[in-house]
C-alpha cells in the first residue's frame, strides 16, 4: 500500500461481517480520509454549530462549542462527528446537487452512525448538541468567516440570520438578535 495513503498500516480487506453493518473501523478510515482532505477551524462564530467553506476545504465549528462532553463518566470528543456531518453534507450538495435539507438528513444519519459505532448514546450526544445549537443561535455574531457557505442558511429561509452574518462579514460589527443567551464551559449529559 502506498505510504501517502490516509492509513498506510491498515490494509483494505473485507470484514467478516455483513456489508451493511456499521463498522467502527470503517468509519475511522472514512473520517481519517476526510481529515486528510479538509482543515478544521474553531475560531469563528458559526450559527447552528458547524459549517463549511464555499470550496469545501475548511470545516468550521463554532468557537463556543466545548471540545467534549461527559457521558456516564466518559469524555466524548465531538469535533470528529461534526466534521463527518459537514463533509458528507457539502459533498452531497456539491457533487450530487441535493437540496440542503435532503443532504442534511443523510449527513445526520452518517453522524449518528459514527456516534453509535463509538458506543456513545445518540440521545446524550444529540441533547448536548441541541443545547448549544440554541445558545449559539442566540449569540452575537462578531466573527464570521468570509468564505462560509451560506447555502444552508438560504435554504432554511433564515433571512434575519443571513442579514446578521453578512453584516458581521462586511464590517465586523456585532449583531444581536432579540434574545441572547451565553454559552460556555463543558457540559455533562
Cell match 448536548: residue?
128
Q: In what order do the strands lie in the sheet with 58-62?
A: 39-44, 58-62, 50-52
Q: Which of 65, 100, 57, 99 is nearest to 81 (CA)?
A: 65
Contacts of 86 (CB under 8 A, 6+ apart): 50, 51, 52, 59, 107
pLDDT for residue 8 is more than 80: no
pLDDT tens sequence across 80-122: 999 999 999 999 999 999 999 999 999 999 999 889 988 899 9
pTM summary value: 0.76
Residue 136 pLDDT level (bands cut at 50, 70, 90): low
Amino acid at each position: 500500500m502506498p505510504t501517502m495513503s490516509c492509513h498506510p498500516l491498515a490494509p483494505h480487506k473485507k470484514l467478516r461481517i455483513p456489508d451493511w453493518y456499521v463498522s467502527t473501523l470503517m468509519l475511522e478510515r472514512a473520517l481519517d480520509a476526510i481529515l486528510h482532505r479538509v482543515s478544521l477551524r474553531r475560531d469563528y462564530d458559526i450559527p447552528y454549530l458547524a459549517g463549511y467553506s464555499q470550496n469545501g476545504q475548511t470545516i468550521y465549528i463554532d468557537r463556543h462549542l466545548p471540545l467534549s462532553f461527559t457521558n456516564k463518566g466518559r469524555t466524548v470528543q465531538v469535533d470528529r462527528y461534526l466534521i463527518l456531518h459537514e463533509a458528507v453534507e457539502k459533498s452531497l450538495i456539491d457533487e450530487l446537487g441535493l437540496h440542503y435539507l435532503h443532504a442534511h438528513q443523510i449527513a445526520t444519519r452518517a453522524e449518528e452512525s459514527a456516534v453509535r459505532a463509538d458506543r456513545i448514546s445518540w440521545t446524550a450526544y444529540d441533547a448536548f448538541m441541541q443545547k448549544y445549537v440554541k445558545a449559539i443561535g442566540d449569540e452575537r455574531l462578531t466573527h464570521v468567516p468570509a468564505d462560509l457557505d451560506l447555502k444552508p442558511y438560504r435554504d432554511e429561509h433564515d433571512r434575519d440570520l443571513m442579514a446578521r452574518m453578512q453584516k458581521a462579514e462586511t464590517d465586523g460589527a456585532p449583531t444581536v438578535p432579540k434574545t441572547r443567551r451565553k454559552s460556555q464551559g463543558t457540559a455533562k449529559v
